[in-house]
């Protein structure tokens, strides 16, 4: 380490609240990075759009504290039962959905 940087590096020891690593920040941005990488391999515009829809549904379920697998199962089951399901009935904040798919 050069002498010029020594004073800057030692500042982390003066302020006890500073984390010694940025692992928490890296882990928080990891999902968006993975999604971006996966979207690079979409073979078509329709494939990229399908990826975006899928990731949006999954992240919305996570943000609403739902079991993602159960939520996707509920949506797919509703879609196969009816050609035009009432989409508002399957939004994550619907009380019935929260009861069936909540963690």
Give the pLDDT score at 89: 84
pLDDT (tens digit per residue) in 28-81: 778 777 777 777 777 888 888 888 888 888 888 988 899 999 999 999 888 888
pLDDT for position 1: 52
| Model confidence band, residue 8 (pLDDT cutoffs 50, 70, 90) | confident
C-alpha distances (whole Å) from 25 to each of 20, 22, 28, 31, 43 are 12, 5, 5, 12, 31
CA pseudo-torsion sign 43, 68, 76, 56: negative
Please, which residues have CB within 8 angstroms of residue 90's CB and are 6 or more apart in sequence?
74, 75, 78, 97
**Over the stretch 19-28, which tens digit does the pLDDT of each residue have?**
777 787 787 7
């Amino acid at each position: 380490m050069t002498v010029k940087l020594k004073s800057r590096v030692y500042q982390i020891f003066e302020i006890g609240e500073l984390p010694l690593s940025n692992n928490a920040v890296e882990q928080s941005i990891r999902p968006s990075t993975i999604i971006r990488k996966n979207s690079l391999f979409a073979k078509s515009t329709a494939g990229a759009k399908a990826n975006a829809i899928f990731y949006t549904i999954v992240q919305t379920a996570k943000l609403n504290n739902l079991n993602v697998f159960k939520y996707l199962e509920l949506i797919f089951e509703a879609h196969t039962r009816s050609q035009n399901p009432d989409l508002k009935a399957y939004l994550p904040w619907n009380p019935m959905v929260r009861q069936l798919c909540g963690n």
